[in-house]
Amino acid sequence: MKVTVFGIGYVGLVQGAVLAEIGHDVVCVDVDEQKVRNLEQGIIPIYEPGLEALVKENYSAGRLKFTIDSASAVKHGEVQFIAVGTPPDEDGSADLQYVLAVAETIANNIENHCIIINKSTVPVGTADKVKDRVASVLFQRGRTDLSFDVASNPEFLKEGSAVSDCMRPDRIIVGTEQASTEEVIRDLYAPFNRNHEKIIVMDVRSAELTKYAANCMLATKISFMNEISSLAEMLGADIEMVRKGIGSDPRIGYHFIYAGSGYGGSCFPKDVKALIKTSEQLDFDAILLKSVESRNNDQKSVIFRKIMNHYDGDIAGKTFALWGLSFKPNTDDMREAPSRVLMEALWKHGANVRAFDPEAMEETQRIYGHRKDFSLCGTKEEALKDSDSLIIITEWQSFKAPDFEQVKDQLKAPVVFDGRNLFDPKVMLKKGFTYVSIGR
């Protein structure tokens, strides 16, 4: 099938590459010319396991193309995906300007019946707004003869495993009330639907809300565990034991119940915020969601408070080795990363940071490269040199079994602040470390 994807970000690029891989003829379009030129030269804008090979292979095979020419891109596709950003507006609601701009572009260029599939995370009612925008442009063009439909197909990929999530989705949510649109989307995703039925068809509004409900549920689990971790500390319990204890109940499960330094990234924070905003617009007090958000905002400072506590509030002139920068492992995404809140607090109090991350160095350089109180180190060991203590903020695999003797040798004092509970406190004590973690 001929497919057009608007937006070459985490969602659009992965979606485009995966659809090309299963044989569709895909054109990805973006307004960022540099990104498009880079992709044509094999330079992939983001880090995602398996993505580079997939993009290069399908680009060479001619099934995946990149362009900034939106007019010809629209003419290419039987289906038009919208996968552009929906960042928070100043008031926390989702900013729909990019989605609606794409709707206009599509409307200005279609010549045949077209199915617009929205993959961006958007508030309930956005498909109606897209429909209105397209209809009004078609009216201005004098082309009210052209038919179109707008479906919702929210994306559930996780950064860090985006390719495999798209190749092997748990479910494919399709919001449409038109049988012909459902049929086209079923065709599009048929290779993913062979093993068992993964497509769940529903009305558009329910599909739009399903995406927010999923992210808010996951954020709730994290904030819940972080709240319990503070209680565990005060009560002399160990949150890791509590996690195992409750995770064994299949109604709760082991996923997403780690206490830590809070959730970040481009989705949970903005989606929780956006659903709170939607509730406000409906005069409904989303008390649970508001608590989830404020617990998370506070949790991002927990490790910093522990550091201040350890140094009696005086960290001026101290140097901290920091392992991990991205908001979670296996991505280079720094959006809303807890590391940023931590580093900014350390700098504000006169401390220096020596940081290492397996993938997010370039992105961090772009954001903080100008700072004199900050160095990016080539390895995690180099970050330790001349540092007063070590802080771990992202749970990359390569941080989980360090050479502790070397860590001790390199640091000025054997002190580890662990924002992800990677190690056993008893073992760390035995190894001679002062070990500060979360909820234990």
The yes or no reply on residue 31 touching ligand NAD (CB under 6 A) is: yes
Question: Pick from 3, 4, 9, 259: which binds ligand NAD (CB under 6 A)?
Answer: 9
Q: Closest CB to ligand NAD among 220 and 387?
A: 220
Question: Pick from 59, 98, 320, 327: which binds ligand NAD (CB under 6 A)?
Answer: 98
Q: Closest CB to ligand NAD among 157 and 334?
A: 157
The yes or no reply on residue 6 touching ligand NAD (CB under 6 A) is: yes
In whole angstroms, what is the distance from residue 297 CA to residue 264 CA? 10
Q: Closest CB to ligand NAD among 35 and 65?
A: 35
The yes or no reply on residue 77 touching ligand NAD (CB under 6 A) is: no
Q: Which stretch binds ligand NAD (CB under 6 A): 47-55, 94-102, 181-189, 199-207?
A: 94-102
The yes or no reply on residue 100 touching ligand NAD (CB under 6 A) is: no
Cβ atoms within 10 Å of 415's Cβ, excluding its own: 20
Question: Pick from 58, 80, 118, 120: which binds ligand NAD (CB under 6 A)?
Answer: 120
Contact by Cβ (8 Å): 40, 66 = yes
Residue 315 corresponds to which tokens in the numbers above?
């960290």
Burial-class residue 237 by CB neighbours within 10 Å (0-12, 13-18, 19+).
Answer: middle
Q: Closest CB to ligand NAD among 66 and 148?
A: 66
The yes or no reply on residue 29 touching ligand NAD (CB under 6 A) is: yes
In whole angstroms, what is the distance from residue 329 CA to residue 394 CA? 6
Residue 199 corresponds to which tokens in the numbers above?
């497509």
Residue 306 CB, nearest distance to ligand NAD (Å)? Answer: 29
Angle between helices 204-235 and 287-299 (to 10 degrees): 50
In whole angstroms, what is the distance from residue 359 CA to residue 324 CA? 9
In whole angstroms, what is the distance from residue 14 CA to residue 404 CA? 38
Residue 392 CB, nearest distance to ligand NAD (Å)? Answer: 23
Burial-class residue 208 by CB neighbours within 10 Å (0-12, 13-18, 19+).
Answer: buried
Look up 267 and say whether it is catalytic: yes
The yes or no reply on residue 272 touching ligand NAD (CB under 6 A) is: no
Burial-class residue 319 by CB neighbours within 10 Å (0-12, 13-18, 19+).
Answer: buried
Contact by Cβ (8 Å): 174, 79 = no
Q: Which stretch binds ligand NAD (CB under 6 A): 27-35, 289-297, 315-323, 339-347?
A: 27-35
The yes or no reply on residue 19 touching ligand NAD (CB under 6 A) is: no
Cβ atoms within 10 Å of 132's Cβ, excluding its own: 13
Contact by Cβ (8 Å): 326, 397 = no
**221-260 footprint of ligand NAD as x/- string (CB under 6 A):** ----------------------------------------
Q: Closest CB to ligand NAD among 239 and 267?
A: 267
Nearest to 240 by CA among 220, 223, 258: 258
The yes or no reply on residue 83 touching ligand NAD (CB under 6 A) is: yes
In whole angstroms, what is the distance from residue 430 CA to residue 440 CA? 16
The yes or no reply on residue 67 touching ligand NAD (CB under 6 A) is: no
Q: How many residues bind ligand NAD (CB under 6 A)?
A: 26
Residue 113 corresponds to which tokens in the numbers above?
């019946």
Residue 83 CB, nearest distance to ligand NAD (Å)? Answer: 5
Count of helix runs (H) and strand runs (E) in the chain: 18, 14
In whole angstroms, what is the distance from residue 323 CA to residue 326 CA? 10
Q: Which residue is nearest to ligand NAD (CB)?
A: 9
Rg of the chain over all Cα atoms, to the nearest angstrom: 24
Q: Closest CB to ligand NAD among 27 and 286?
A: 27
Q: Closest CB to ligand NAD among 340 and 440?
A: 340
In whole angstroms, what is the distance from residue 248 CA to residue 166 CA? 28
Q: Which stretch binds ligand NAD (CB under 6 A): 96-104, 173-181, 187-195, 350-358?
A: 96-104
Contact by Cβ (8 Å): 162, 15 = no
Q: Closest CB to ligand NAD among 264 and 402?
A: 264
Interior CA angle at 158 toward 153 and 160, to 5°?
A: 145
Binding to ligand NAD in span 146-205, by CB under 6 A? 155, 157, 159
Q: Closest CB to ligand NAD among 2 and 305?
A: 2
Q: Which residue has the tokens 């996690």?
A: 243
The yes or no reply on residue 7 touching ligand NAD (CB under 6 A) is: yes
The yes or no reply on residue 66 touching ligand NAD (CB under 6 A) is: no
**391-420 footprint of ligand NAD as x/- string (CB under 6 A):** ------------------------------
Task: Kindly list the residues in this chain that would bind ligand NAD in the complex (CB under 6 A).
Answer: 6-12, 29-32, 35, 83-86, 98, 101-102, 120-121, 155, 157, 159, 266-267
Task: Write out the catalytic residue numbers.
Answer: 267
